[in-house]
């Protein structure tokens, strides 16, 4: 297993190579803060990850909460992963599934899917919401595949602790573990928590890899990083994360899928496919979400 206790002198040596540090674009959505990390002007993707949003943490008064009306997606798969709170997912395939901390909602859009995201069972009480929403581009040969939805309970995700580090594997295979979450391309996604003083060696068998700091403070290659920073490893270089304080970070990466276009909620390898999706949503050609009467209009 590639995470270690900093008290072991054999684990102190650092090798590295930081390709890029991405600072998020923070948006206030009416009292609800979202830090958008990907896509960024500096870098569009890390492995298949083309969208990465850090939601909250936010506190909602009773009767309030997120209310994201039905909207479409193509050419991607989404993962919602929460640290706090609950979101109710409903989609055009007929799935209705609450997502709670530590579980995974994986929505495979393929040729097209529509879904809504609304406050969960905690709507009528003071509630907290905190988590990550990410999108993975699909390989070109699967971009027009049938849409699908998968829910994986938190208890089904593999987790391991050693040397002051605890890792929960969301997707992929690493650290002697394999996730049951299905993916269409080589994808690594992990929830990592380190005690102060621990070291964590990132795996080197991924084409691209990055660390996103959720909370706490870390050092990598003698550089200091705090909440909101995404540190992207240079090609074929090993990064060692040193926990300055108790910290929480996400590990993302996998194979590069080449150039993709992204517009609103659409991802495609051609602009023509994006234009077709825009026309289809404008003309009402996407399937509806059962029980929902609202929708988000196409942006002007």
pLDDT tens sequence across 69-106: 999 999 999 999 999 999 999 999 999 999 999 999 99
Closest alpha carbon to 219 in 10, 21, 1, 2: 21
Residue 14: pLDDT over 60: no
Average pLDDT over every residue of 199-222: 94
In the beta sheet, which residues pair with residue 4?
199
Query: Can you give the pLDDT at residue 29?
Result: 64
Peptide bond into 57 cis (omega under 30): yes
Query: Residue 18 has what pLDDT?
Result: 93
Task: Report, as an integer, the average pLDDT of 24-39.
Answer: 82
Across 114-135, average pLDDT: 91
Per-residue confidence (pLDDT) for residue 8, from 0 to 100 = 38
Q: Does 6 have pLDDT greater than 50?
A: no
Residue 65 has pLDDT above 50, yes or no: yes
Contact at 8 Å (CB) between 190 and 250?
yes
Average pLDDT of 161-176? 96
Residue 236, pLDDT above cutoff 80: no
pLDDT at 9: 32
Confidence category of residue 7, pLDDT binned at 50, 70, 90: very low
DSSP 8-state code for residue 210: E
With bands split at pLDDT 50, 70 and 90, how would you rate the model's confidence at 31? low
Indicate if the pLDDT at residue 294 is higher than 50.
Answer: yes
Per-residue pLDDT, 30: 56
For 255-290, what is each residue's pLDDT tens digit? Answer: 999 999 999 999 999 999 999 999 999 999 999 999
**Binning pLDDT at 50, 70 and 90, where does residue 118 land?**
very high
Nearest to 190 by CA among 173, 208, 215, 207: 173
Task: Tell which residue, 242, 214, 239, has the closest CA to residue 229.
Answer: 214
CB atoms within 10 A of CB 184: 19
Is a pLDDT exceeding 70 seen at residue 133? Answer: yes
Q: Please state the φ and ψ torsions of residue 224, each to the nearest 5 degrees.
A: -100, 135
Q: Tell me the average pLDDT of the chain.
A: 91
Residue 39, pLDDT > 90, answer yes
Interval 208-229 mean pLDDT? 96
**Percentage with pLDDT > 70 across the chain:** 94
């Amino acid at each position: 297993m590639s995470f270690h206790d900093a008290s072991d002198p054999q684990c102190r040596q650092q090798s590295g190579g930081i390709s890029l540090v991405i600072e998020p674009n923070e948006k206030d959505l009416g009292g609800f803060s979202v830090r958008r990390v990907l896509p960024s002007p500096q870098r569009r993707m890390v492995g298949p990850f083309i969208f990465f949003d850090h939601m909250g943490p936010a506190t909602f008064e009773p009767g309030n909460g997120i209310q994201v009306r039905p909207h479409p997606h193509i050419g991607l798969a989404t993962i919602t992963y929460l640290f706090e709170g609950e979101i109710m997912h409903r989609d055009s395939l007929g799935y209705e599934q609450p997502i709670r901390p530590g579980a995974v909602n994986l929505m495979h859009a393929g040729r097209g899917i529509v879904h809504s995201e609304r406050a969960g069972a905690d709507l009528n009480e003071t509630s907290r919401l905190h988590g990550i929403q990410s999108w993975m581009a699909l390989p070109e040969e699967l971009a027009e595949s049938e849409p699908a939805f998968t829910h994986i309970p938190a208890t089904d995700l593999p987790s391991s602790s050693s040397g002051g580090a605890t890792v929960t594997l969301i997707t992929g295979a690493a650290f002697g573990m394999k996730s049951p979450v299905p993916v269409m391309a080589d994808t690594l996604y992990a929830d990592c928590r380190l005690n102060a003083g621990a070291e964590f060696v990132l795996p080197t068998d991924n084409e691209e890899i990055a660390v996103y700091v959720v909370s706490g403070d870390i050092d990598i290659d003698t550089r200091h990083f705090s909440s909101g920073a995404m540190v992207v490893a240079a090609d074929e270089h090993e990064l060692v994360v040193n926990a300055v304080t108790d910290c929480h970070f996400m590990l993302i990466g996998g194979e590069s899928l080449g150039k993709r276009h992204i517009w609103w909620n659409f991802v495609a390898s051609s602009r023509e496919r994006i234009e077709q999706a825009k026309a289809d949503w404008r003309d009402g050609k996407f399937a509806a979400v059962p029980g929902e009467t609202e929708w988000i209009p196409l942006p002007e």
